[in-house]
Amino acid sequence: MNDARSQLASLLAIQDLVLEILAARLVVEGAPGKIEEAEARFRERNAEYVETKDRFETIEADRAARSADLAALEESRKHFQDSLMQVKNQREYAAVLKEIDAVKARIAENEDAILASMDDVETLKTDLDARAAHIETERAIVETERAEIEAAVANAEATIARATARRAELEATLPAALVSNVRRVEEGRRGVFLVRADREMCSACHVRVRPQVYQEIRQAARLHACGNCKRYLYYEPAFKSAPPAEVPSPTVGAANGG
């Protein structure tokens, strides 16, 4: 092969590696957000569980306190009932009756509250048990998701290391000026420095190339860059293996936009 064809073959391989590295970096960069999303979902479910548990415990504590009050109030009522036998005049009798009525009212209030809370406690207990089971399931799902994300990150980092090393090997076979220019175009074009030439046009920005230049591109006789977007051009049928001219969206849109 001539020098231009050999260099183009290396650039094709490098372009594949660049796209592979970019895709792997997206995995690495997106991992923290995905983990946070999973953990936020768990925190939301757990907050609902904690809120239900707090309501349940508050009602249970109130019921226990009222039950204790009932025992004390029953003792007070018994004491006042016994006092009726010992009053000495109508005024004392009326006073004891008033105390008894007050105790009875408090007993009735506590009994009504305890009865009313029984339905709430039963409903909350059922809800709490269901939420507890769901929380454990959700916790397991989050742990699985985290493990899968971390495994994907490890694979992506290995891909980046391997592709970066291979790129360095390929670049070592190319002229330093070409490598420098490729990296400059790559940086300005979101990783895409090499695109197809098709029907005498750059497939990225759709600017037409001169017929003579197009023939040289078809024959891989010389390296040519698009005069508009500055990306290097190649003719796909001239090579057995070629990378896609497009990049995963949103890069594709940027490339087509010039």
Q: Domain coordinates of the chain in residue numbers?
A: 28-169, 175-256
- Whether the per-residue pLDDT at 114 is higher than 80: the answer is no
Measured CA to CA, the distance from residue 86 to residue 255 in angstroms comes to 103
Q: Summarize pLDDT for 153-176 with one digit per residue, the tens.
A: 999 999 999 999 999 999 999 999
Cis peptide before 250 (omega within 30 of 0): yes
- Whether the per-residue pLDDT at 147 is higher than 60: the answer is yes
Q: Summarize pLDDT for 119-136 with one digit per residue, the tens.
A: 778 788 777 787 787 888
Q: What average pLDDT score do residues 28-57 get?
A: 88
Query: Which two structure tokens, joined as six digits, stand for 78?
Result: 């018994």
Beta strands in the chain (DSSP E): 194-198, 201-202, 224-225, 232-234
- The residue with greater pLDDT, 208 or 96, is 208
Query: Which two structure tokens, joined as six digits, stand for 246?
Result: 């497009």
Q: Summarize pLDDT for 55-97 with one digit per residue, the tens.
A: 878 878 888 887 888 888 888 888 877 777 887 788 877 887 8
Assigned CATH class of 28-169? mainly alpha
Measured CA to CA, the distance from residue 92 to residue 242 in angstroms comes to 109
Measured CA to CA, the distance from residue 142 to residue 131 in angstroms comes to 16
